[in-house]
Each structure stands twice: as structure tokens, then as C-alpha cells.
Amino acid sequence: MPAKPATGRFGARLAQAVEIKGALCAGIDPHPALLELWGCREDVAGVERFALRAVEALAPVAAMIKPQSAFFERYGAAGIAVLERVLVVAREAGALVLLDVKRGDIGSTMAGYAAAYLGDGAPLAADAITVSPYLGVGALEPAFELAGRTGRGVFVLALTSNPEGADVQAAVTGTGRTVAQSVVDAVAARNAGRHPVGDFGVVVGATAPIGQLRLNQLNGPILAPGIGAQGARMHNLREVFGTASPHVVAAISRELLRHGPQPQSLRHAAQRFAEEAASLGHPGPCR
């Protein structure tokens, strides 16, 4: 059964969710080490048990839930069926769902990906998805266009924390800007004039070499993964993102999920992270 259609624009819905719950995006990553920690088998049944328990605990207290598609895809059709159920359960529990798929292609293929994840009635439709711009931001236009029509969002990889990313993302283009800045600027152009905030965001790793990256004109959300397992800490984010901090949503996966499998422990950890995110300049979660 597909997730319920989105109602209202994604940017406004995310802003409202952050105001109520805090700026936390909770990752749902059925990583083999976490499956073992939770006492779940490394098979489809184990992934389903893990993912649904995590969603049921975290969806009521996190602004967004972020399933990592790869950990479901590795089990083929049965794993994808679990992912479909995760999307439905998360939405029914009141969370926005950001599906981490990092798709990026050209022409009709990109249109196909957009229809799969951003179209009303699609079995894998989410509130937003992650996309890769390295065939050109313009090649992602089918995703931007369909998201705009269905009230969904798109998060574009801009500056990631992995060391290999610098070879591409820090390269200087013919305009004198880095590739990462060009991505941010292209997304900002699509958000121009949107109120209270645009529907399109960027992904900037919390441990990435941000340097002179200009984010203040984005008028959209900044997803910051890398907290915990990759070395970043919530209390460092304001220093890292500076005046753009109020637009940051902290994405936490393994550092949060290690507090399971008990639902109360997971919720407590999520609420603590959300409260710490108030230091970014967001209001604290309403309780």
C-alpha cells in the first residue's frame, strides 16, 4: 500500500515539524552490526523487525525519518517490500520521510526515478529524497519538477564528508566557484521567492571541509549527516555552519540506533538530540 499523498509544500511541512519536534532527522539503517546489537537476524525478517521497531519508536519524536534504501535493496524484492511498509508506518505515525536513495541520471531515466519516489500513488513515494548532481544539476530537473507538482522535496548532495569527495566537490569551475558552491547556488535559484522556506535542500556533511561555502542564500533546509559514528558532535554544528545554522537539520543514524532496541531508550536519545539541536538557533521541541 503506497504512503499517503503529501499535502502542502514540503518546505513548509518540514519547518512546522522542526518547530514542534526539533531539528532531528533519524536514520533507519539496518546495518549488519546494528542488527546484531538488536538481536535481529541478518535476513529480511530481521531487517523488517529492526526497521519497524525503530520507526515506531522514533517517528513520533523525530521531525524526519530517513531510511537508507541500500540496506533494504540488498535483499531484493522482499527487502523493497519491507521498505514500502516502513514508508507507510512512518507517515502514519506522523513523521516526514526522507528516502536516502542518492539517485542521479539523465532524461527519461531521471524521470523514471522521480516517478518512483516523488509521484503520488507510487509504492515508494516519500516526502523527499536525496539525489546526486554529478551528471549536472540540470539533469535533475525531472525530480525538481515532479516534487514541485506533488508537494515533495529534494535534497541535493553538495559537500560530503568522505575524503574522496574533495576531488570533485572542491574543484573550481570556470565561473571561479567550487563545484559544491555551484550546486548550492543552483538549488538556491530554485528556492528563490518561496516562503517560509523552499522545498529543495542540500546535503552538507557535518565533518566536511565547509570553509568558504556560502549557504545563507539557500532559502532551504541543510541536511547535516555525520554526527556520531563519523566524528561530528551536535554541540559543534553551530560553529561549523555559522549563520546558516538555523536551517540545519541534523541527521543521526548509528549514534542514535545504538540506543535500541528498547523503544523508551530510543525515544529518550532522540529527544535529547533534538533538544541539543536547539543550539542551532531553532526553537526547542515542544513538549
The CATH number of residue 167's host domain is 3.20.20.70
Is 219 within the bounds of a domain?
Answer: yes
**Which cell numbers in the block locate residue 116?**
518512483
Closest by CA position to 4, among listed 97, 73, 66: 97
Is 177 within the bounds of a domain?
Answer: yes
Which whole-number Å values give the CA distances from 254 to 30, 136, 229, 260, in the listed order?
Answer: 9, 31, 6, 10
Q: So what's the pLDDT on residue 158?
A: 97
Q: What would the mean pLDDT of 247-264 be, rounded to a whole number?
A: 95
Beta bridge partners of 249: 223
Asked if the model's pLDDT at residue 282 lies above 60, the reply is: no
Q: So what's the pLDDT on residue 230?
A: 65
172-229 per-position pLDDT tens digit = 999 999 999 999 999 999 999 998 899 999 999 988 888 889 999 999 999 999 887 6
Distance CA 218, CA 204 (A): 12
Beta bridge partners of 172: 178
Range of the domain at 172: 10-276
Fill in the DSSP letter of residue 211: T
For 6-28, b where at least 16 C-beta lie within 10 A, e where not — what string?
beebbbbbbbebbeebbbbbbbb
Grouping H, G, I as helix, E, B as strand and the rest as coil, residue 275 is helix
How many CB atoms within 10 Å of residue 285? 22
Is 286 within the bounds of a domain?
Answer: no
State yes or no: is 102 an active-site residue.
yes
pTM: 0.94
Peptide bond into 196 cis (omega under 30): yes
Closest by CA position to 23, among listed 195, 207, 241: 241
Is 150 within the bounds of a domain?
Answer: yes
Asked if the model's pLDDT at residue 268 lies above 80, the reply is: yes
The secondary structure of 52-101 as a DSSP string is HHHHHHHTTT-SEEEEBTHHHHTTHHHHHHHHHHHHHHHHHTT-EEEEEE
Q: Angle 79-82-87 (CA atoms, 0-180°, nearest 5)?
A: 130
Grouping H, G, I as helix, E, B as strand and the rest as coil, residue 198 is coil
Asked if the model's pLDDT at residue 1 lies above 70, the reply is: no
Query: What backbone phi and psi angles, to 5 degrees, belong to 25?
Result: -110, 115
Is 95 within the bounds of a domain?
Answer: yes
Is 16 within the bounds of a domain?
Answer: yes
Count of the separate structural domains present in the chain: 1
**Which cell numbers in the block locate residue 282?**
531553532
Quickly state the pLDDT bin for 287 (edges 50, 70, 90): very low
